[in-house]
Amino acid sequence: MTSQTLNTVPTPQQIRRAPKALLHDHLDGGLRSATIVELAAETGYEALPETDAEQLERWFRQAADSGSLERYLETFSHTVGVMQTREALTRVAAECAEDLAADGVVYAEVRFAPEQHLEKGLTLEEVVEAVTEGFREGERRARAAGDRIRVGALLTAMRHAARALEIAELANRYRELGVVGFDIAGAEAGYPPTRHLDAFEYLKRENNHFTIHAGEAFGLPSIWQALQWCGADRLGHGVRIIDDIQDDGTGSVKLGRLASYVRDKRIPLELCPSSNLQTGAAPSYEEHPIGLLRRLHFRATVNTDNRLMSGTSMSQEFEHLVRTFHYTLDDMQWFTVNAMKSSFIPFDERLAMINDVIKPGYAELKSEWLFRE
């Protein structure tokens, strides 16, 4: 190995400092556990399973480690439970932006389902405004701490419910006000994305963007519907696309028609390795499809999904991948540029982020070995 290739394998510290872009992160899956405890006391939420922040953090991780998406999702009742006031939503959003920035994330799209935050009388509009105000506040605090981050909101509709069109209209109304797109989430099996076709067709007519959770707990039919019936711009997870790829282990790999389409059309895959291990969508980091999908040049991106439930961060996701697949800074840059290219902000802004923030950041890290004492 030459010294140059040796030096492009990032250290944990370099991974944290490297500029990262995040497309798939749930606001209600990333609260600080101490904040949950405080908000529960302030807002009179009495159903927390633990009242000590550290124990609560452990509880979330263990409860989410269930091997089933449905059981994993049950843990969200406690985060959503304390996110029912304007102040709570703004605080959680501001801390989210701060935490991501401190982890070296320069661009993030963070999603949440407005319809889940109406229990204490807030309107859908008030929920969106509280969250976007929090993101702006978090961006300011990050700047004051010497970090840079830009956060866009994605509005999620819950796939078992029937409010998708309403939430899509909301996303469209708040487009110039910090909302960059739309999503559907929740239990996948039994709730195909075509249930919400009216919402997707509306967004297409409005020239708006959307991603769909598909190919996580359910396989190819869900991905096929999301793309070919609903017209999704990106796939939330999409990891089961691996079921349409035959890898005989001898170097000969055969793509089925859906996998070919996904690769040919450069459909972004919002891959979330740690989350997949917890819900049983992948057995281990070693066997996670991201290794093959990266080798085959799918438009793969690395994401956190739910930092609290998975006890993770963008840096930690990359640390796992670097350890497992021996990725270099060039690989990290590749995933990051993929994410930025696939983001929902205007093209000129994406390009500036890639050329003026991401590439210089990696160049700086890659050159460090030259000046080592």
Ligand X SMILES: O=c1[nH]cnc2c1ncn2[C@@H]1O[C@H](CO)[C@@H](O)[C@H]1O
* Binder of ligand X out of 211, 301, 306, 333 (CB under 6 A): 306
Here's the x/- map for ligand X, 171-200, by CB under 6 A: it reads as --------------xx--------------
| 22 in contact with ligand X (CB under 6 A) | no
Contact window for Zn ion (CB under 5 A) among 152-160, 225-233, 257-265, 302-310 = 302-310
| 319 in contact with Zn ion (CB under 5 A) | no
Q: What's the rounded Cα separation, in Å, for the pair 361 and 356?
A: 8
CB 14 → ligand X: shortest distance, Å? 28
| 305 in contact with Zn ion (CB under 5 A) | yes
* Binder of ligand X out of 8, 20, 23, 26 (CB under 6 A): 26
Site for ligand X in 58-87 (CB under 6 A): 69, 73, 76, 80
- Conformational region of residue 155, where left means phi above 0, alpha means psi within -120 to 50, and beta covers everything else: beta
The burial class, CB within 10 Å (0-12 / 13-18 / 19+), for 363 is exposed
| 183 in contact with Zn ion (CB under 5 A) | no
Query: Between vectors from CA 35 to CA 27 and to CA 154, what angle results, nearest 5°?
Result: 10
C-alpha torsion angle, residues 296, 301, 306, 309 (rounded to 10): 40
The verdict on whether 109 is a catalytic residue reads no
CB 46 → Zn ion: shortest distance, Å? 28
Of the pair 256, 280, the CB lying nearest Zn ion is at: 280
* Binder of ligand X out of 99, 216, 244, 331 (CB under 6 A): 216
Q: Which residues, 6+ apart, have CB-to-CB distance to 332 below 8 Å? A: 10, 15, 18, 20, 318, 322, 362
Q: What's the rounded Cα separation, in Å, for the pair 48 and 372?
A: 49
| 211 in contact with ligand X (CB under 6 A) | no
| 109 in contact with Zn ion (CB under 5 A) | no
Nearest to 240 by CA among 193, 272, 265, 210: 272
Query: Between vectors from CA 91 to CA 86 and to CA 94, what angle results, nearest 5°?
Result: 125
Q: What's the rounded Cα separation, in Å, for the pair 312 and 319?
A: 10
| 276 in contact with ligand X (CB under 6 A) | no
Contact window for Zn ion (CB under 5 A) among 3-11, 43-51, 165-173, 301-309 = 301-309
* Binder of ligand X out of 7, 18, 23, 29 (CB under 6 A): 29
| 234 in contact with ligand X (CB under 6 A) | no
Candidates 139, 216, 317, 319; catalytic one: 216
| 270 in contact with Zn ion (CB under 5 A) | no
CB 120 within 8 A of CB 84: yes
CB 156 → ligand X: shortest distance, Å? 5
Residue 81 has which token pair? Answer: 């439970």
CB 301 within 8 A of CB 339: yes
What 3-state class would DSSP assign to 131?
A: helix
Q: What's the rounded Cα separation, in Å, for the pair 333 and 339?
A: 10
Contact window for ligand X (CB under 6 A) among 31-39, 53-61, 112-120, 345-353 = 112-120
Q: Which helix (H) or strand (E) holds 84?
A: none
Binding residues for Zn(2+): 24, 26, 213, 305
Which residues contact ligand X (rule: CB under 6 A)?
A: 26, 28-29, 69, 73, 76, 80, 111-113, 116, 156, 185-186, 213, 216, 275, 305-306
Q: Which residues bind Zn ion (CB under 5 A)?
A: 305
Task: Indicate which residues carry an active-site annotation.
Answer: 216
